[in-house]
Structure 1
Amino acid sequence: MDKVVRSATDAVADIPDGATIAVGGFGLCGIPSVLIRALLDVGTHELEVVSNNCGVDDWGLGLLLQEHRVRRVVASYVGENKEFARQYLAGELEVELTPQGTLAERLRAGGSGIAAFYTRTGVGTLVAEGGLPWRYDAEGNVAVASPPKPVERFTVRGVEHEYVREQAIAADFALVRAAVGDRAGNLVFHSAARNFNPLCATAGRVTVAEVERLVPVGELDPDAVHLPGIFVDRVVELTPEQTADKRIERRTLREVAP
């Protein structure tokens, strides 16, 4: 099955207003920047975004935030995005901050058909007890707070602990980026750019992948495939210019003595 579509715009054109989208990447590493830009161009609104973070002010998911296309974010990290923080504190954006490992496992569970799981992360904090501010009002009061989560005791390796129940995440669409892909959707990621991409891809009901290099089916060593094509519905081949356009979130330099 040939899953290659003509353009990024065609690949995201049917994402409706109000959809939940899982977006791969960590910081600006491995983000599907071309698909995000296409989603901005088609004008989709009221999105719920599930991603490790929300880009920066002028790149990645930050572009959607600037245009007020996002109504809710499930993330583990705000990062360098000042507009993200401003919208959250001004009551314009609902934000569910989630421990990073828990977010990864919620996505993995969603892709595996697991409804929920238990973890010790968050026990004894507002993560489990509820009360985390999800949305503020215009006066800075908490308008929507996180609900309490079920906590149970389990014995693991002979030691009893409390565990909090976390629900899986299943998204309507997933947007990811890979270094190499074939026409059947099998994907290979480059080093740390793999990050949240496979997890988001499996959690999406419809998954769209932008690939830096497209190869014929059969060229990839099956043992080298990081994400099987069964999880990918659409493939967009990037141009050399799109492939090379990669931003750095924060650059730190030091002077070197001559």
Structure 2
Amino acid sequence: MIDKFVPSIEAALDGIGDGATIMVGGFGAVGQPHLLVDALGERGLRHLTIIANNAGGDFGGLPKLIAQGAITKVICSYPRATSKTAFDTLYAEGRIDLELVPQGTLAERIRAAGAGVPAFFTPTAAGTELAAGKEVRTIDGRACVLEYALSADFALIEAWEADRWGNLTYNAAGRNFNPIMATAAGVTIALAHHRRDLGTLAPETIVTPGLFVQRVFIAGGSA
């Protein structure tokens, strides 16, 4: 019997070790699986690469992971916060690497990985510092930059509802980066707010099929 519910956060995060590349869903604080990220900070990990839209914010568990020195590289669109954070200090000291990616390009690189597309050309960032060292071609009269698909060992995402097969729905803006990240990781771990019986989720409401999900932890209660 397929049952992807796990009884604890520890079981959800099993196998995540030093040097892992981890995608974290969310747009700002919305849709970020805070419980999973907070628990990740308790594992004493090192040399992590984090892929997230916001990686230098002053909310959730990512700033704590950065301050702990657990993260050595960040791939994101927005690494800053309204106030100075540990990221600013570590980056200025050369103790954390940053790959800055325009938001649409970040989303497409992740989506491409899930779709099995190894690379694509985009006019975004052509003629800017972000295109330095990258292949550029003229396509239909526009300079386009070659960007490579972006995958991860693990994806930590937030969902609204889940059944035991791992089928997921999302609530409003919580959908953001979560569905594409679910398709682009070796192991996708979902934090869901509601457990539903198999067959009760209407097919047209399921955004992420269980095929892409390996583990589901229900927020606020055991599976």
Give the TM-score category using the shorter length: over 0.9
1:72-151 equivalence runs, <5 A? 72-80=73-81, 82-128=85-131, 130=132, 148-151=133-136
Conserved in 2, the CA contact under 8 Å of 1:30 and 1:193? Answer: yes
SS at match of 1:96: strand
Match of 1:71 in 2: 72
- Distance in 2, matches of 1:56 and 1:122, equals 23
Label 1:171 to 1:211 Cα distance change in 2 as closer, same or farther (>3 A): same
SS at match of 1:41: coil
Larger radius of gyration: 1
- Distance in 1, matches of 2:220 and 2:211, equals 24
Alignment-mate amino acid for residue 74 of structure 1: I
Match of 1:182 in 2: 163
Alignment-mate amino acid for residue 134 of structure 2: K
Match of 2:200 in 1: 219
Shift of 1:26: 0.9
- Distance in 2, matches of 1:27 and 1:118, equals 27
Match of 2:183 in 1: 202
Instruction: State whether structure 2 residue 210 is matched by structure 1 residue 229.
Output: yes
Alignment: residue pair count: 219
Alignment-mate amino acid for residue 151 of structure 1: V
- Distance in 2, matches of 1:54 and 1:153, equals 32
Conserved in 2, the CA contact under 8 Å of 1:3 and 1:185? Answer: yes
Alignment-mate amino acid for residue 154 of structure 1: I
Shift of 1:20: 0.4
Alignment-mate amino acid for residue 35 of structure 1: L
- Distance in 2, matches of 1:35 and 1:230, equals 21
The alignment's TM-score, normalised by the length of structure 1, stands at: 0.82
Shift of 1:41: 1.6
Conserved in 2, the CA contact under 8 Å of 1:57 and 1:66? Answer: no
Match of 1:51 in 2: 52
What percentage of aligned pairs have identical amino acids?
43
What are the Cα deviations for residues 193-215 of structure 1, in whole angstroms up to 9, with x where unaligned? Answer: 11111111111110000101111
Match of 1:145 in 2: none
Shift of 1:43: 2.0
The alignment's TM-score, normalised by the length of structure 2, stands at: 0.94
- Distance in 1, matches of 2:58 and 2:6, equals 29
The alignment's C-alpha RMSD in Å is 1.5
- Distance in 2, matches of 1:55 and 1:87, equals 11
